[in-house]
């Protein structure tokens, strides 16, 4: 069976889960669910990033020990993901023992390869980024990302000899076209490598909150070295049982935000090459989800809690909105008005209306029993096109386009009903045929909508009289026209998406 390994970034525990974290994680969940429908053996990893100066400082400010601080925040991520119906296979915390063991092994492997060496360093550091900057990058000692003053640090540290990997990385990207999507991001990576790579420090002597280096316990590992390793430590790398690592590595896609591209596409493959481990197969780089056109921040007071929105519109409407409204890779913009507008147009007027219309007509004109689809229905080819297009878009990490393809089938099915007006006709063969086609289209729509809206899709499945779980359907067979069998009891239910006032 094809295996598919997908990861989200691991989130810093200095803040509660917000809309941006939720967006990245929902994209991951939908893609993971799509691959399950393809029959792939999916491993979907998320987690929390708990070491480093940023967390140490946040814990100090809260007046608690960093472990306690992390222990309080990490469950908020797990709870948020459960509420958002995130079907992760594993949740890793970097303070877990399994992670420490793997980080040690990776550090030791790079050290044994001669790529980690002691050196002294003086430079500029931004704690919010947990990253070093050159004088050129941090003009006037200001962080280019956070626009706040950077610290000058002088330390004796262990360094990873990233500069030795320039040619190998360039060669690797030349040999693996398409590994980074969207494609323009790889140019950014290559451009950065071509400017010349600086060695980076992989240890801290002044900080205690981290994983000690196996070859010098007076230092702890740099938080990014520690964090990146999660993608293999969660698979058991460095433990007694590395079978998951053997099975799932290299990862198919790391989902990341554009802010962490360099760490993932330069540091990480170089660290792996040094340790003799294969680089990732792919990276899917997302843009920013802005709020009302602005970056979310505590100071602007525009940080959106995804769970407030779930309380308001329901989990599937929220998931649908974030997936459909932003082209993955570009920046997107969240507004509450936009959420309600899409809710009313795409969910209430299109999907919800279609489901209730079908149930109403089948009840009135077909004795409440589903009828059979026509082999030569005009809807059949539209449905097949939607299945193929949605599949291509999910494959290319483009949920908004996959949903667009799905909604084109929803609109076509509504149009099919409007053209035939079965509600005006006498019961009989014609009505049965029209409704059989509509039921069959709705069956396929439920499957295609499932990655984005798992509960709604399953409810539609149940209402058209089908049994079992959509999760157990396979696109290769269930995605074919003609699967709906006549005679199922079709159920009317509450409106799936009652219209909302704007
Ligand atoms: N801990 C590091 C990642 C280590 S991965 C080995 C980190 N954490 S973070 O919590 O600050 O952000 C992680 C990711 O969350 C970002 O890369 C991005 O994918 C996502 N987002 C955070 N804010 C976001 C938006 N406003 N919009 C979209 N995604 C954003 O960096």
Could you read off the pLDDT of 168-216 as tens digits, one per residue? 999 999 999 999 999 999 999 999 999 999 999 999 988 999 999 999 9
Distance in angstroms (rounded) separating the CA atoms of residues 134 and 123? 7
User: Probe ligand 1: pick from 15, 21, 25, 293, max atoms within 8 Å of CB?
Assistant: 21
CA separation for the pair 403, 144 (Å, rounded): 36
CA distance 100 to 418: 61
Contacts of 52 (CB under 8 A, 6+ apart): 130, 207, 209, 210, 222, 223, 226, 227
DSSP 3-state assignment of 473?
Answer: coil
Does position 1 have pLDDT exceeding 80, yes or no?
A: no
Catalytic residue selected from 68, 194, 208, 295: 295
The answer to whether the CB of 226 is under 6 A from ligand 1 is: no
pLDDT band at 120 (very low <50, low <70, confident <90, very high): confident
Question: What 8-state DSSP symbol labels residue 7?
Answer: E
Strand partners for 142: 149
Q: How large is the average pLDDT for residues 463-480? A: 98
3-state secondary structure of 25: helix
Q: Residue 68 Cα, ligand 1 centroid: separation in angstroms?
A: 22
Residue whose Cα lies nearest atom 10 of ligand 1: it is 11
Domains belonging to the chain, first-starting first, are 346-478 (1.10.730.10)
The helix-helix angle for 66-83 and 306-313 (nearest 10°) equals: 30
CB atoms within 10 A of CB 160: 25
Q: What is the pLDDT of residue 499?
A: 97
SS3 category, 138: coil
How remote is the CA of residue 87 from the centroid of ligand 1, in Å? 19
Measured by CA distance, the residue closest to atom 26 of ligand 1 is 20
- Phi, psi torsion values for 464, nearest 5 degrees: -90, 15
pLDDT for position 333: 96
The reply to whether ligand 1 has any atom less than 6 angstroms from the CB of 296 is: yes
pLDDT score of 134: 86
Strands 180-181 and 203-204: unpaired
Please, are residues 181 and 329 in contact by the beta-carbon 8 Å criterion? yes
Tens digits of per-residue pLDDT, 374-415?
Answer: 999 999 999 999 999 999 999 999 999 999 999 999 999 999
Helices (H), 275-352: 306-313, 315-325, 336-342
Cβ-count burial 18-41 (b if 16+ within 10 Å, e if not): bbbbbbbbbbbbbbbbbbbbbebe
Are 210 and 52 a contacting pair, CB within 8 Å? Answer: yes
pLDDT digits (tens, 9 = 90+) for 431-449: 999 999 999 999 999 999 9
pLDDT at 123 over 90: no
- Do residues 350 and 441 make contact, with C-beta atoms less than 8 angstroms apart? no
Kindly state if the Cβ of 23 falls inside 6 Å of ligand 1: yes
Tell the residue number behind the tokens 């790889």, with chain if given. Answer: 186
> 329: Cβ below 6 Å to ligand 1?
no
The finding on whether 9 has its CB within 6 A of some atom of ligand 1 is yes
pLDDT of res. 337: 96
Q: How far apart are CA 49 and CA 99, in angstroms?
A: 11
Mean pLDDT of 245-274: 98
pLDDT for the residue numbered 398: 98
Query: Quick one: average pLDDT of 12-31?
Result: 97
Judge residue 154's burial from the number of C-beta atoms within 10 Å of its C-beta, 0-12 exposed, 13-18 middle, 19 or more buried: exposed
Average pLDDT for 253-277: 98
Going from the C-alpha of 395 to that of each of 181, 185, 325, the distances in angstroms are 11, 18, 18
- pLDDT score, position 301: 85
Residue 501 banded pLDDT, cuts 50, 70, 90: confident
Q: Mean pLDDT across the chain, nearest whole number? A: 96
Phi–psi pair at 198, nearest 5 degrees: -90, 145
289 lines ligand 1 (CB under 6 A): yes
Q: What are phi and psi of 278, to 5 degrees?
A: -65, 140
Structure token digits, residue 258:
């554009």
Using CA atoms, how far apart are residues 328 and 397, in angstroms rounded to an integer? 7
Q: Are 361 and 380 in contact (CB under 8 A)?
A: no
Residues 124 and 135: beta-carbon distance below 8 Å: yes
> DSSP code of 330?
B
pLDDT, mean of residues 417-435: 97
What share of the chain has pLDDT > 90, as a percent? Answer: 90
Catalytic residue among 43, 51, 99, 129: 129
According to DSSP, the residues that pair with 96 across neighbouring strands are none
pLDDT of res. 307? 96
Does residue 353 carry a pLDDT above 90?
yes
For position 181, what pLDDT does the model report? 96
pLDDT of residue 449: 98
- Point out the catalytic residue in the list 110, 143, 265, 366: 143
> What is the structure's pLDDT at 277?
98
CA of 196 to the centre of ligand 1 (A): 26
* Alpha carbons 211 and 49: distance in angstroms, whole number: 12
Q: Which atom of ligand 1 is closest in space to residue 287's alpha carbon?
A: 28
């Amino acid at each position: 069976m094809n295996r598919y390994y997908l990861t989200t970034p691991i989130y810093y525990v200095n803040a509660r889960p917000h809309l941006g974290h939720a967006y990245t994680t929902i994209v991951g969940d939908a893609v993971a669910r799509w691959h399950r429908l393809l029959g792939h053996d999916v491993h979907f990893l998320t987690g929390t990033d708990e070491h480093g100066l940023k967390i140490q400082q946040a814990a100090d400010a809260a007046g608690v020990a960093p472990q306690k601080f992390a222990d309080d925040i990490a469950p908020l991520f797990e709870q948020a993901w459960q509420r958002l119906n995130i079907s992760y296979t594993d949740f890793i915390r970097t303070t877990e023992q399994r992670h420490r063991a793997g980080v040690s092994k990776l550090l030791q492997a790079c050290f044994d390869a001669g790529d980690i060496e002691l050196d002294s360093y003086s430079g500029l550091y931004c704690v919010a980024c947990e990253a070093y900057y050159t004088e050129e990058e941090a003009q006037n000692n200001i962080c280019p990302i956070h626009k706040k003053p950077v610290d000058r640090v002088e330390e004796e540290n262990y360094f990873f000899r990233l500069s030795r990997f320039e040619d190998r990385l360039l060669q690797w990207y030349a040999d693996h076209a398409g590994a980074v999507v969207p494609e323009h991001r790889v140019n950014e990576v290559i451009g950065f490598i071509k400017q010349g790579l600086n060695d980076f420090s992989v240890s801290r002597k002044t900080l205690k909150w981290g994983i000690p280096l196996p070859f010098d316990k007076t230092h702890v590992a740099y938080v990014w070295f520690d964090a990146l390793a999660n993608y293999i430590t969660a698979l058991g790398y460095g433990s007694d049982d590395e079978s998951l690592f053997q099975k799932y590595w290299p990862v198919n896609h790391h989902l990341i935000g554009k802010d962490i591209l360099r760490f993932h596409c330069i540091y990480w493959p170089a660290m792996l090459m040094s340790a003799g481990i294969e680089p990732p197969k792919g990276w899917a780089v997302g843009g920013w989800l802005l709020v009302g056109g602005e970056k979310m921040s505590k100071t602007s007071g525009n940080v959106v809690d995804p769970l407030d929105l779930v309380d308001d519109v329901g989990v599937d409407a929220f998931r649908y909105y974030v997936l459909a409204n932003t082209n993955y890779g570009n920046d997107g913009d969240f507004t509450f008005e936009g959420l309600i507008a899409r809710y009313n147009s795409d969910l209430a007027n299109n999907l919800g209306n279609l489901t209730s219309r079908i149930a109403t007509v089948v009840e009135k004109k077909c004795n409440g029993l589903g009828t059979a689809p026509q082999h030569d229905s005009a809807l059949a080819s539209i449905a097949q096109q939607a299945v193929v297009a949605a599949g291509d878009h999910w494959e290319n990490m483009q949920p908004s386009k996959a949903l667009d393809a799905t909604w084109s089938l929803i609109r076509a099915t509504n149009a099919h009903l409007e053209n035939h007006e079965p509600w005006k006709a006498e019961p009989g063969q014609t009505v049965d045929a029209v409704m059989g086609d509509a039921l069959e289209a709705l069956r396929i729509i439920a499957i295609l909508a499932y990655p984005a809206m798992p509960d709604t899709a399953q409810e539609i499945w149940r209402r058209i009289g089908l049994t079992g779980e959509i999760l157990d359907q396979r696109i290769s067979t269930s995605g074919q026209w003609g699967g709906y069998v006549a005679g199922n009891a079709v159920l009317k239910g509450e409106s799936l998406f009652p219209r909302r006032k704007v």
